[in-house]
C-alpha cells in the first residue's frame, strides 16, 4: 500500500499514518513543499486537489476537523483519574516524538495538546493551532489510544472560550492573581481585616459558618489528622478565599460554555512565592466542592523551588515529607491527582512523587521540548544556534520577569568563543538552559529589519528537514521523564 501511494503521489508516506474509514484510506505524506494529508478514495468533506485516484489536502484547520470526524481516535477526551503526563509543544512539531516516548511505557495517559494563553501569546499561536498540530502529529504516528488536550493556566473566563471552541477536554484554572501571599507575614490584625474583606457573598458563606465547619474538628487523613486553630484557619481563608471565589466563577463559566460536553478541571496555585501547606490544601479542597466545583487534579505550590528547565532546588527530605501530606489530603478528600507544574527536568523528585502518589499524579512538562529542539539545532546548524544564543543573552533580563528562574547570563559562555562541537553543551548548563528557556517567545516572534521573522522560519525549517533527529531526541529525553512513573511495555 505504501509503495502504491508513493508511486501515485510522488511523495514520501509516513507508514504509521495509514488509516481506513468509510471506504477511504487516509495517510500523511511529505514532499518538497512540506506535509500534506492524502486520501485514496472518497475525499468528500475535505479541501484538496485531486490527483488521479488520490486527493492531496493542505494541513488546514478545516481538514484537521474533518479528519477528526472520520477518525474519532484523533479527538481528545477526558482521561479521568489515570496517571497522566502533559507535553507542551511551543513549536508545533514535537508531538510525534512525545507519542514515541509514551509508547515505550504503560499506565500513563498522555495530554498531547497543552499550551497556556501566555505561551500562545508569546509564540503567536492559537488554541486551535495547538490542537491541530497535535492532531497531525498523532495521525503521523498512528496514535489510536485515548489522549487529552489541556487549556493550561487560564486566568480569566474569556481566556477559556477559544479553547472551548477548539474542543479541549481539560481546563487548568490559575487563580494565582487572587492568592494573597502577604498573609504569611501579616499581623493578626491584618489577617482579621483580610478575612472580613473577603467576598463572602460569592463564597456563599460567612466567617461564622466557616469557623463552625473547621474549628474543633479532626480531619482524618488515614495515618494522620489535621486540625485548625482560629489563626491557621483565618490565614488559610485570607490567603486563598478570593482564589476560591474566582475558581468557582471560572468553573461555572466553563460548565455553561461546555453545555453537555464532558470536560475536566485542574486547579493550579503553583505559581506563587509561598508554598501551599497540607492544611491550606485541605482548606481549598474542602471549600471548592461545597460550592459545586469538581476537579480531577490540583497543583499546590510545593515546598522548594521549581524553576524552569532545571532540576528541583531544595531539600529532598523536606519535599518528601510535605508531599506525603499533600497525597494524604488528595486521597482523603478526593481522590484526585496531584499535578506537578514546571515538572520538566525535575529528575531528583520523580522517584519520590511516583512512590508516594502512585497513580494519583499528573506531570506537566513544556519548555523542555523546546530546549531539545535547540539542542538538535546546535548540532545540525551551529550558525543558527549561535545567533539564537546571542539573542537570548540580550533578551534574558527582560524575559525572566514573568518566570521563576535564577540564571546568571554572565555564566553562559559567549557563543562566539565556542567551537561548533561545544555548542550542544550549553544546554547542559543550568544558566544556559534557563536563558534559552524563557526567551522562546522572542525567538519565535522577533522580526528583522525587513519585517520578516528573524529566527522562526529558519528554526522550523531546520527541524523539519531533520525531523527524525528531533523525534529521537524527544523520545529519549521525555522517556527519562516518564520512566520513574511507568511500567515499560
Mean pLDDT of 224-229: 95
User: pLDDT tens for residues 174-187?
Assistant: 999 999 999 999 99
- One of 89, 132, 133, 266 is an active-site residue; which one? 266
In the DSSP assignment, the letter for residue 273 is S
Q: What is the DSSP string of 175-192?
A: -GGG--GGGGG--HHHHH
Domain ranges of the chain: 2-70, 77-181+216-367, 369-479
Q: What is the pLDDT of residue 223?
A: 86
Q: What angle do CA 75, 80, 84 make, to 5 degrees?
A: 85
Average pLDDT over residues 19-36: 96
What grid cell was written down for 201? 457573598
Q: Is 344 a residue whose pLDDT tops 80?
A: yes
Q: What percent of the chain has pLDDT over 70?
A: 100
- Mean predicted confidence (pLDDT) in 322-327: 98
In this structure, are residues 220 and 169 in contact, taking their beta carbons and an 8 Å threshold? no
Catalytic residue among 152, 307, 399, 431: 152
**Can you tell me the mean pLDDT for 260-270?**
97
Residue 211 has pLDDT above 70, yes or no: yes
Structure confidence at residue 310 as a pLDDT band (50, 70, 90): very high
Helices (H), 334-418: 350-357, 367-380, 382-399
Find the helix packing angle between 456-465 and 382-399, rounded to 10°.
130
What is the grid cell recorded at 135? Answer: 492532531
Counted residue by residue, the chain has a size of: 489
266 among known catalytic residues: yes
Please give the C-alpha separations between residue 458 and each of 265, 374, 454, 463, in angstroms, as whole numbers: 37, 12, 8, 9
pLDDT at 197 over 80: yes
Greatest CA separation found in the chain? Answer: 80
Check residue 489 and give its pLDDT. 65
Q: What is the mean pLDDT of residues 320-347?
A: 98
pLDDT tens digits, 244-256: 999 999 999 999 9
pTM of the model: 0.97
Using a 10 angstrom Cβ sphere, with 0-12 exposed, 13-18 middle and 19 or more buried, the burial of residue 142 is middle
Catalytic residue flag (residue 311): no
Interval 342-366 mean pLDDT: 98
Cell of residue 460, nine digits: 522550523
Give the pLDDT score at 402. Answer: 86
Residue 453 three-state SS: strand
Mean pLDDT, the chain, integer: 97
* Per-residue burial over 213-252, b = 16 or more CB atoms within 10 Å of its CB, e = otherwise: ebeeeebebeeeebebeeebbbbbbbbbbbbbbbbbebbe
At the top level of CATH, the class of 77-181+216-367 is alpha beta
Give residues with Cβ within 8 angstroms of 321, minimum separation 6: none
Amino acid at each position: 500500500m505504501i509503495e502504491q501511494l508513493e508511486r501515485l503521489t510522488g511523495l514520501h508516506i509516513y507508514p504509521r499514518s495509514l488509516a481506513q474509514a468509510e471506504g477511504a484510506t487516509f495517510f500523511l505524506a511529505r514532499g518538497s513543499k512540506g506535509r500534506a494529508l492524502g486520501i485514496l478514495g472518497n475525499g468528500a468533506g475535505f479541501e484538496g486537489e485531486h490527483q488521479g485516484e488520490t486527493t492531496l489536502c493542505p494541513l488546514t484547520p478545516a481538514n484537521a476537523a474533518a479528519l477528526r470526524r472520520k477518525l474519532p481516535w484523533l479527538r481528545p477526551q477526558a482521561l479521568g483519574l489515570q496517571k497522566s503526563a502533559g507535553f507542551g509543544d511551543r513549536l508545533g512539531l514535537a508531538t510525534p516524538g512525545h507519542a514515541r516516548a509514551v509508547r515505550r511505557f504503560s499506565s500513563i495517559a498522555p495530554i498531547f495538546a497543552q499550551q497556556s494563553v501566555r505561551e500562545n501569546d508569546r509564540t503567536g499561536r492559537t488554541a486551535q493551532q495547538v490542537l491541530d498540530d497535535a492532531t497531525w502529529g498523532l495521525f503521523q504516528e498512528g496514535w489510536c489510544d485515548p489522549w487529552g488536550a489541556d487549556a493550561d493556566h487560564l486566568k480569566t473566563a474569556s481566556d477559556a472560550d477559544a479553547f472551548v471552541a477548539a474542543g479541549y477536554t481539560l481546563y487548568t484554572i490559575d487563580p494565582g492573581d487572587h492568592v494573597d501571599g502577604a498573609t504569611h507575614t501579616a499581623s493578626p490584625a491584618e489577617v482579621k481585616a483580610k478575612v472580613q474583606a473577603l467576598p463572602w457573598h460569592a463564597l456563599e458563606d460567612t466567617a461564622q459558618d466557616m469557623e463552625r465547619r473547621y474549628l474543633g474538628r479532626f480531619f482524618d487523613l488515614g495515618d494522620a489528622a489535621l486540625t485548625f486553630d482560629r489563626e491557621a484557619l483565618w490565614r488559610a481563608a485570607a490567603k486563598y478565599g478570593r482564589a476560591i471565589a474566582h475558581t468557582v466563577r471560572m468553573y461555572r463559566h466553563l460548565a455553561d460554555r461546555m453545555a453537555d460536553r464532558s470536560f475536566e478541571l485542574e486547579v493550579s496555585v503553583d505559581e506563587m512565592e509561598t508554598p501551599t501547606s497540607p492544611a491550606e490544601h485541605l482548606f481549598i479542597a474542602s471549600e471548592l466542592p461545597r460550592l459545586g466545583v469538581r476537579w480531577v487534579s490540583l497543583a499546590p505550590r510545593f515546598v522548594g523551588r521549581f524553576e524552569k528547565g532545571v532540576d528541583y532546588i531544595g531539600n529532598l527530605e523536606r519535599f518528601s515529607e510535605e508531599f506525603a501530606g499533600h497525597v494524604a489530603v488528595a486521597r482523603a478528600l478526593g481522590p484526585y491527582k496531584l499535578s506537578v507544574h514546571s515538572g520538566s527536568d525535575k529528575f531528583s523528585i520523580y522517584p519520590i512523587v511516583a512512590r508516594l502518589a502512585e497513580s494519583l499524579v499528573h506531570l506537566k512538562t513544556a519548555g523542555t521540548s523546546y530546549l531539545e529542539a535547540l539542542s538538535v539545532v546546535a548540532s545540525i546548524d551551529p550558525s543558527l544556534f549561535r545567533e539564537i544564543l546571542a539573542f537570548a543573552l540580550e533578551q534574558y533580563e527582560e524575559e525572566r520577569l514573568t518566570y521563576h528562574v535564577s540564571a546568571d547570563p554572565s555564566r553562559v559562555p559567549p557563543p562566539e568563543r565556542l567551537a561548533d562541537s561545544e555548542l550542544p553543551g550549553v544546554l547542559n548548563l543550568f544558566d544556559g538552559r534557563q536563558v534559552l528557556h524563557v526567551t522562546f517567545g522572542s525567538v519565535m516572534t522577533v522580526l528583522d529589519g525587513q519585517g520578516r521573522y528573524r529566527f522562526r522560519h529558519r528554526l522550523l525549517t531546520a527541524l523539519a528537514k531533520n525531523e527524525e533527529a528531533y523525534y529521537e531526541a524527544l523520545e529519549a529525553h521525555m522517556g527519562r521523564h516518564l520512566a520513574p512513573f511507568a511500567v515499560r511495555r
